[in-house]
Amino acid sequence: MTTPPDLTRRTALLLLLAAVIFGVALRLYQLGTVPPGMHPDEAHYAEDAVSIMRGWRPVFLPANNGREPLFVYFMAGLFSLLGPTLWTARLAGAIVGILMIPAQYLFSMALPVPRPRLIAVLAAALVAFTFWTVSQSHQALRAGLLPVWVALMAWSWWVGAGQVDERRVTRRGLLWAIVTGLILAAAIYTHLSARLMPPILVGSALWLAARRRTWTPLVYLTVALALAGALSIPLALYFVQNPDMATLRTGQVSVLNPEVNKGNLPLTLLQNAWAILLMTNVRGTTSWLENLRGRPVFDPLMGLFFLGGVVLLARDLFNRRGEKAQSAAVLLLLVYVFQVMPSWLSAGAPSYGRLNGAWAVLFLLPAWAMERGAAVVSPRVGRTLTTAALVGVLLVSAVWSARDFFGVYAHAPEVYDVFFGWSLDRARAVADVVPTGTAYASPTLWNQAVIRFNNVQNPPRVVDSRVGLVLPPQGDAVYLFDPADGKDADAFGKRWPQAVRSEAKDSRGGVNLVVYRIPQATQPRLDATPAPADAVFGDNIRLAAYRLDADHVKPGDTVHATLVWEALAPTATDLNLFVHLVDGSDRTLGQADGPPLGGSFPTTVWQPGETVIQQIDVPVAKDAPAGLARLRLGWYDWRSGERLPAPGSPDSSVTVGQVQVQR
């Protein structure tokens, strides 16, 4: 069969540019709204990026099961330029998704395939519009950067060690080995699956060395691995100091985990392999987080071309087109096998997030088959009709993907749920309320990463209102509750009847946020005893008043006290409060120690003029003797035990109130 001429370089570059532009359009269109919501994983990435933007320089991100940091550093750079928003966070995912298009082109064009420029353009186009790649690019996750490094590493390795059959080590080969090592190091700092990239190089180098009877590929392999290893030393040292983090995530999802394999490891491996085998043409992942449930990677027409590409790869593996084609086929097989392994060896196969590294081969194969089909048809129908047919196939696949993603997936209620759409609605409701007064959020509300990130530029204060109340020096006090805090919210309204309740709705009409507003004019006035004038601690805190709920107790009872603090200035470190019940001989009959408001409102965040109303319980010893007892209190640094000084008190404490202990 006579192969028609390949595309000219100019034409290929123009078509690549068109694929990139199309890919950019698909990735930027509705970037902040599709998928609806924001997954907590995205929010954790974004929060870490904010911390990096503010000066943190981690070598590994320990939160959220542990993550490699390179993608988050990139996101932090975008935050510095454009601000920390959901759109900017997902822009990081979109950009790395766009980079995969030229990376796919470079890798495909370097291979010894017929008409490499045409195949490279077709493969790049598939990366530009396939559902999986578009969906991944609409998420702020590091998995989208891994396939870029896999494609570039395979490209640089093949150009340096595979494309040219050299019998001696050359400067050119060493330079490409260095490039390969740099790319591998970048991948290791990107994703857990990169740990299975070195075997690709090892397998290819051993094959080339044996097939060509030369040590040269092994020299290049040594240079690449040595450089990548040297650059990865900081990460390795982190894992030496924190060994649990090295295997935390793999241990959770590994098929070796009895909770994953259900006591039958061989069956689990077979089921995973079968699921991965079917994903391209029959049934893809059923996770709404990654896919339109069950949708295969390719539409039926493109799926047939993928199968044709598999046949072409098998043909080259059996050496039907010479050594160079066979060596390239071995490299392709190694890339695919080792980048499929993370999903094969873990729960939930096929997990697209663990299969991204296989993209370089996955999208090359149908492009290769399309080119071969065009080569067969072109002499019979002419180049014009053949070109039109290729364009038609690509358009059908592109429209199919766009319809499924923007038309079906984007509006599926399951996608709203899996991406925590209600949490993003709640975060936006919080952002709307915060400017209307001094806002205090419940710990349950603020423990949600999506809410924290989307309010990072104007966050509310965090207060556990079950154990106290904070009132600003001026303006309204606004208390925010998650619907999960329903009982606490109801109790708050009963405890502080002057608070006016309202509710925010999510996009489905459900209650999404409970809001209590205490107008400044009706702020609570407690029936309390004024504190002594010397009840001042350092330059930071003054006890304004106190109240004891009873004037007599029995041994084993509890003294219920309400303390009204006036904040003068925040402290340098978070302090603990101590309250001791002592008798006339200063013997301790009971005590309560701990941070204020259950640790939800540390003294480091107290602002001048704020009123902090704290409810505290002091248990009375069961052997407490009858007689008069006094409350003595103060503040101390829990790290060193050093107390905040109180004027005129040698032990930095102030005595307030008394109770009668009765037998």
- Say whether both 439 and 557 belong to one domain: no
pLDDT above 70 (res 85): yes
Q: Which residues pair with 502 in a beta bridge?
A: 515
- Say whether both 517 and 556 belong to one domain: no
- Say whether both 376 and 351 belong to one domain: yes
Give the other-Cβ count within 10 Å of 136's Cβ: 24
In angstroms, rounded to a whole number, what is the distance separating the alpha carbons of residues 565 and 546?
9
Parallel/antiparallel/unpaired status of strands 552-553 and 654-661: parallel
Percent of the chain with pLDDT over 70: 100
Please give the angle made by the CA atoms of 461, 463 and 464, to the nearest 5 degrees: 160
In angstroms, rounded to a whole number, what is the distance separating the alpha carbons of residues 245 and 289?
25
Q: Using 50, 70 and 90 to split pLDDT, how confident is the model at 378? A: confident
Q: Using 50, 70 and 90 to split pLDDT, how confident is the model at 13? A: very high
Q: Is 619 exposed, middle or buried (0-12, 13-18, 19+ CB in 10 A)?
A: middle
pLDDT for 363: 98
Which has more confidence, 249 or 499? 499
Give the domain-ending residue among 387, 415, 443: 415
- Say whether both 330 and 403 belong to one domain: yes
pLDDT for 27: 97
State the DSSP H helix or E strand holding residue 223, giving kind and residue range, or none if neither: helix 216-231
Give the domain-ending residue among 367, 387, 415: 415
- Say whether both 402 and 291 belong to one domain: yes
pLDDT for 260: 85
**Does a structural domain hold residue 486?**
yes
**Does a structural domain hold residue 33?**
yes
Q: What is the pLDDT of residues 327-364, one digit of tens each?
A: 999 999 999 999 999 999 999 899 999 999 999 999 99
- Say whether both 262 and 286 belong to one domain: yes
Q: Which two tokens stand for residue 236?
A: 């390795």
**Does a structural domain hold residue 654?**
yes
Tell me the average pLDDT of the chain: 93
- Say whether both 67 and 115 belong to one domain: yes
**Does a structural domain hold residue 134?**
yes
Q: What is the pLDDT of residues 444-480, one digit of tens each?
A: 999 999 999 999 999 999 999 998 999 999 999 999 9
Q: What's 384-438 look like in SS3? A: HHHHHHHHHHHHHHHHHHHHHHHHHHHHCHHHHHHCCHHHHHHHHHHHHHHHHCE
**Does a structural domain hold residue 29?**
yes
In angstroms, rounded to a whole number, what is the distance separating the alpha carbons of residues 82 and 105?
30
Picking from 164-168, 172-176, 575-579, 610-614, which range would have the lowest pLDDT averaged per residue? 164-168
In angstroms, rounded to a whole number, what is the distance separating the alpha carbons of residues 174 and 522?
77
Q: What is the pLDDT of residues 106-123, one digit of tens each?
A: 999 999 999 999 999 999
Averaged over 566-572, what is the pLDDT? 93
In angstroms, rounded to a whole number, what is the distance separating the alpha carbons of residues 349 and 272?
5
Q: Quick check: 307 and 281 in contact, CB under 8 A?
A: yes
**Does a structural domain hold residue 274?**
yes
From 60, 55, 83, 78, select the one nearest 70 (Cα to Cα): 60
Q: What's 51-66 look like in SS3? A: HHHCCCCCCCECCCCC
Q: What is the pLDDT of residues 266-320, one digit of tens each?
A: 999 999 999 999 999 999 999 999 999 999 999 999 999 999 999 999 999 998 7
Give the domain-ending residue among 495, 522, 549: 522
Number of domains, the chain: 3
Averaged over 79-108, what is the pLDDT? 98
pLDDT above 90 (res 384): no
Q: Quick one: DSSP state of residue 279? A: T
pLDDT above 90 (res 30): yes
- Say whether both 145 and 170 belong to one domain: yes
Q: What is the pLDDT of residues 33-74, one digit of tens each?
A: 999 999 999 999 999 999 999 999 999 999 888 999 999 999
pLDDT above 60 (res 1): no
- Say whether both 122 and 138 belong to one domain: yes
**Does a structural domain hold residue 189?**
yes
Look-up of token digits 């064009």: 109
Averaged over 223-252, what is the pLDDT? 91
Q: Quick one: DSSP state of residue 353? A: G
- Say whether both 433 and 410 belong to one domain: no
In angstroms, rounded to a whole number, what is the distance separating the alpha carbons of residues 173 and 156?
10
Claim: this prediction has a pTM higher than 0.85: yes
- CATH number of the domain encompassing residue 637: 2.60.40.770
- Say whether both 293 and 369 belong to one domain: yes
**Does a structural domain hold residue 536?**
yes
Which has more confidence, 3 or 468? 468
pLDDT above 90 (res 505): yes
- Say whether both 262 and 383 belong to one domain: yes
Q: What's 589-635 look like in SS3? A: EEEEEECHHHHCCCHHHCCCCCEEEEEEEEECCCCCCCEEEEEEEEE
Domain that holds residue 157: 9-415
Picking from 20-29, 41-50, 140-149, 617-626, which range would have the lowest pLDDT averaged per residue? 617-626
From 334, 425, 370, select the one nearest 37 (Cα to Cα): 425
pLDDT above 80 (res 588): yes
Q: Using 50, 70 and 90 to split pLDDT, how confident is the model at 2? A: low
